[in-house]
Amino acid sequence: MDWLNALNLTAGELIGVYTAAYVLAALGLAVHFGFTGLLNFGQAAFAALGAYGYSIATLTLHWPWWAAVLAGLAASGVFALLLGIPTLRLRADYLAIVTIAAAQALRYAFSASDYADVTGASNGLSEFGESFYALNPIPKGRYDLGFTSMSENEIFIRIVGWSLVIIAALFLFFLTRSPWGRVLKGIREDEDAVRALGKNVFAYKIQALVIGGTIASLGGMVFVMSSQTNQPSTWGTNFTFMIWTILLLGGAATILGPIVGGMVFFALLMFTQSVMEGLVKMGWLPFLDIAQVGQIRFLLVGLILMLLVIFRPQGIFGNKKELQFNG
């Protein structure tokens, strides 16, 4: 059993590209659910729109990277308005139903052969990161970081991804402590009381939905930029529920929670996979093969998360009182 290799792989996941992407999406969900009380089960749709907005603007419209980023942000913002305007005046469960249905509909639209020239249909899009990686100031080559080695582009996308995490976290830290943020928390606790104070609850909810959605769209861009491939199968319900797992693991109504929750979640996945693969190779788990380890690790991590929910339902950094929402 190579414990050093398992620890090195686990350390790599702590600063992984996909970890950063999921953390950004979870920070957006924290705005929706943690601070405003909006039940959004379609966060994958916002990430997908960011990814497709960028890749389509780059490949089809031949826009520069900065314009493509703005296109992805704008797409998710418009999507939030289209979802929120007809539903946010109604009960919270209507938004939950609409978001999960809209996310699936959007994924099927990206898969449709009718739009293959633009979206790539089920094959998706690829090789759209040229203008982005042209910004990379790191000399070409592979670099030994101690626990792993990376190419110049792998280092660059990690720097960009985690820089966006820091920027988004600082933005939300100050935003949620502003008068605007205190109104959001009031809506989460008792929106009728906030409405009685003369605040436009609907407008605040729309703003929160747009802000959280655009942050998630940045996560979608980071996610696809690593491999420079964007496929509709990526943006299924499993993507959304992994984001929910990360959010609840770290603490819903916190800024630090989604960050630490994402790092812990992916580190646990990699550590359990590495250990189980080692045990299979040693013959200690004769009833498993290497191909099955990837699925079993989710069961083990799921069991750990179930115990966490039972014994610490507020998450690592959360406040138990802030889990009590008024529908």
Q: What are the pLDDT digits (tens) for 64-105?
A: 999 999 999 999 999 999 999 998 987 778 889 999 999 999
* Residue 22 binned pLDDT confidence (cut-offs 50, 70, 90): very high
How far from chain centre, in Å, is Cα 242? Answer: 8
Encoded tokens for 35: 């601070």
* Residue 151 binned pLDDT confidence (cut-offs 50, 70, 90): very high
* Residue 322 binned pLDDT confidence (cut-offs 50, 70, 90): low
Percent of the chain with pLDDT over 90: 69
Mean pLDDT taken over the chain: 91
3-state secondary structure (DSSP) of residue 177: coil
Cα distance between residue 7 and residue 200, in whole Å: 51
Encoded tokens for 169: 């976290």
Using a 10 angstrom Cβ sphere, with 0-12 exposed, 13-18 middle and 19 or more buried, the burial of residue 144 is exposed
Residue 304 has pLDDT above 90, yes or no: no
Cα distance between residue 219 and residue 273, in whole Å: 24
CB atoms within 10 A of CB 73: 21
Residue of 35, 38, 33, 30 whose CA lies nearest to 202:
38
Cα distance between residue 315 and residue 29, in whole Å: 15
Q: Quick check: 30 and 253 in contact, CB under 8 A?
A: yes
The per-residue pLDDT for 326 is 44
3-state secondary structure (DSSP) of residue 72: helix
What phi, psi does 230 have (nearest 5°)? -135, 105
Cα distance between residue 155 and residue 15, in whole Å: 10
Residue with the larger pLDDT of the pair 216 and 305: 216
Ranking 26-35, 163-172, 265-274 by mean pLDDT, the lowest is: 265-274
Residues 6+ apart with CB under 8 A from 182: none
Distance between start and end Cα atoms, the chain: 50
Work out the average pLDDT over 141-154.
90
Computed from CA positions of residues 190, 171, 226, 159, in that sequence, does the dihedral angle turn out positive or negative? Answer: negative
The per-residue pLDDT for 148 is 83
Residue 244 has pLDDT above 60, yes or no: yes
Residue 324 has pLDDT above 80, yes or no: no
The per-residue pLDDT for 327 is 43
Domains of the chain: 3-323 (1.10.3470)
Residue 7 has pLDDT above 70, yes or no: yes
Residue 47 has pLDDT above 90, yes or no: yes
* Residue 321 binned pLDDT confidence (cut-offs 50, 70, 90): low
Please indicate, yes or no, whether the overall pTM of this predicted structure exceeds 0.85.
yes
